[in-house]
Structure 1
Amino acid sequence: MSSSTPRTAAAWGFLAPALLLIGLSVLIPAAMALLMSFTQAGLDVSEPLRFVGLANVRRLLADPMFFRVTGTTFLYLVGVVPPVVLGALALAVLVNRQLPGIHWFRAAYYTPVLVSIVVAAIAFRWLYAENGLINGWLGALLGERFSPIGFLTSPLLALPAVMLVTLWKGLGYYMVIFLAGLQGISADLYEAAALDGSEGWRKHLDITLPLLRPYLTLVAVISAIAATKVFEEVYLMTQGGPADSTRTLVYYVYDQAFAELEISYACTVGLALFLIVLLLSLVRLAFAGEKGLT
């Protein structure tokens, strides 16, 4: 018997509870959803599944609402990822200094991450209300000529308003990732760059950005995946409205499953979402590089 066998058995023993939990909560439901996407099923579990082949896939490809919510999800991704990457990087650079009380500033920027998304969505919904704080401030500033802005009732403003909640909630989390990368860069590199005339923001272009490339890739991809799977903000603030302007892929899955009771079709839309997230994950692996984060 190999000497590594007891260690291997012990390792599998420690992994078994986590693997069992993942299997029961993730793998088995995912396999069932994949199976149901090729069937016609409702909420009545007593009825046998009726195999329909690729009928749900053909319905998906002919569904204009699916392509609309996919476009909305893409807009959400484009509107969230670049500001998250640039904003979190800027915050990390600002707090990566040895100054008195800098830990308090780091904690302050990270605090939104600790706030429940339910609390954040309700708070922002109140701020955005026509009789809310933002319109109140603007009314006091502009006087009687000011007309309240419908941040959540305008098809043009609702999606950016919801995006802002995602940005506010996630900046601190991604800031910590960048801060970890910044603190791994030797100060000697910046001193050598200063001798070559690279100072101020130029040193970040010459030193910081190239060395933070793996972190940039990581933050870009995981924030893109999070934006693709956005649900709570939409559900709590707009419920997909107005005029479906904030209906995303995950909300469409929820709507089809629990409002329309189209369980099989909802699983098919979920499968399409899975493929999109898988593609983003493959992009992350492709651009991470050999020295990237794993």
Structure 2
Amino acid sequence: MTGKHSSVQRRQTLKAYGFMTPALIIIILFTIIPIIGSLVLMFYDYSVLGQTKFVGLKNFVKAFHDRVFWISIKNSVIFVVVVPIIQILSILLAVLVNKKLPGIGIFRTLFYIPVVTSMVAVSIMWGFIFDTSGIINTALKEWKVISMPLGFLSDKNTAMICLMFITIWQGLGYYMMMYLAGLQGIPQELCEAATIDGANAVKVFTRIKLPMLKPYIWFCSLNSVISAIGVFDVVFVLTKGGPNDATMVINYYSYTKAFSDFQFGYAAAIGAVQAVVTTMLSIVVFVYGKRGGMTNNE
């Protein structure tokens, strides 16, 4: 019986690896190999047509003396401001849709549609809205609030705020669903017992629901930090890092150095710094979550 059981287990294991193989091949080809290649490339002055030279740490020295590089680092870190905003709004939204009301399923679906929509399509749509002849400027002029159209994406004081708003709008539904799953996993008996003991809705939320959402808050915050540091699509489509580098983020700066200036080694070095910044901020979130009991229901 033992031999037969082992044979069945081996077949099941081989079948499982068979199903995973196509995905693993794609991951290896388009993720693992490029990462390994970039780790080597960042120590070289790579040329597509000319001679490729080993330069050691010169690409990193160049980055640390590059004014735009530091601006891109600063803007990427600023983008992390969206993390607490999107988490708070998502929790409140999840509480709102966690009701048994007629049509609530449609309401949830409407909020989730931006999540499954391409960020490029979302960016183009908001580009039309923020345009000088877009809906917002047209409405403000009709209401006599302004006489000249506002350049939301062409003004260095508002461009970053607009991009952060678009990011929040697009990601809100994803985190809402995560928190909704957490809320629906909370035993209703606890909430009912607290209500019987005299607790109002606010106390039930702050004393029972919010503490039991801690693991979800930790996971969503960590995921959101990684996404914020790696923001690219919305910058690429709407501002190209402008105006005057006001929206230049590290991911887009690395892209421009690689595919506009053809400085592939330098771009790889910038990407390595981005990985370090992302890791450091992720560690901060991870350690804070551990200390705050985010990984359990303490």
TM-superposed CA distance for 1:292, in Å, is: 5.2
Residue 244 of structure 1 is matched in structure 2 by 245
Residue 209 of structure 1 is matched in structure 2 by 210
Residue 152 of structure 1 is matched in structure 2 by 153
TM-superposed CA distance for 1:108, in Å, is: 1.3
Residue 112 of structure 2 is matched in structure 1 by 110
What are the equivalent positions in structure 2 for 1:20-31 lying under 5 Å apart? 20-31=25-36
What are the equivalent positions in structure 2 for 1:69-218 lying under 5 Å apart? 69-78=72-81, 80-142=82-144, 146-218=147-219
Whether 2:48 is the aligned partner of 1:55: answer no
150-159 or 52-61: bigger deviation: 52-61
Give the residue type in structure 1 aligned to 2:120: V
Deviations 1:25-77 (A, max 9, x none): 11111101110001110233xx5532111111221222222111110111111
Residue 41 of structure 2 is matched in structure 1 by 36
Deviations 1:177-204 (A, max 9, x none): 0000000001111111113332122211
Secondary structure of the 1:142 match is coil
- Matches of 1:204 and 1:40 in 2, distance apart? 56
TM-superposed CA distance for 1:272, in Å, is: 1.1
- Matches of 1:26 and 1:278 in 2, distance apart? 18
Distance 1:8 1:280, change over 3 A: farther
Normalising by structure 1, we get a TM-score of 0.91
Q: Over the residues paired in the alignment, what is the CA RMSD in angstroms?
A: 2.1
Tell me if structure 2 keeps the 8 A contact 1:218–1:284. no
Give the residue type in structure 1 aligned to 2:215: P
Question: How many residues are paired up?
Answer: 289
TM-superposed CA distance for 1:16, in Å, is: 3.0
Give the residue type in structure 2 aligned to 1:133: I
Residue 17 of structure 1 is matched in structure 2 by 22
- Matches of 2:56 and 2:91 in 1, distance apart? 47
- Matches of 2:281 and 2:11 in 1, distance apart? 38
Provide the identity percentage. Answer: 36
Tell me if structure 2 keeps the 8 A contact 1:81–1:224. yes
Distance 1:58 1:292, change over 3 A: farther
- Matches of 1:104 and 1:6 in 2, distance apart? 44
- Matches of 2:147 and 2:213 in 1, distance apart? 46
Normalising by structure 2, we get a TM-score of 0.90
Give the residue type in structure 2 aligned to 1:64: R
Residue 65 of structure 1 is matched in structure 2 by 68
- Matches of 1:77 and 1:285 in 2, distance apart? 15
TM-superposed CA distance for 1:15, in Å, is: 3.0
What are the equivalent positions in structure 2 for 1:260-271 lying under 5 Å apart? 260-271=261-272
Distance 1:182 1:264, change over 3 A: same
TM-superposed CA distance for 1:280, in Å, is: 4.1
Secondary structure of the 2:175 match is helix
- State the 4+ residue runs in structure 1 displaced beyond 6 angstroms: none
Deviations 1:154-183 (A, max 9, x none): 100000011111111110011000000000
TM-superposed CA distance for 1:12, in Å, is: 3.5
TM-superposed CA distance for 1:7, in Å, is: 4.6
Residue 223 of structure 2 is matched in structure 1 by 222
TM-superposed CA distance for 1:20, in Å, is: 2.1
Distance 1:291 1:234, change over 3 A: closer
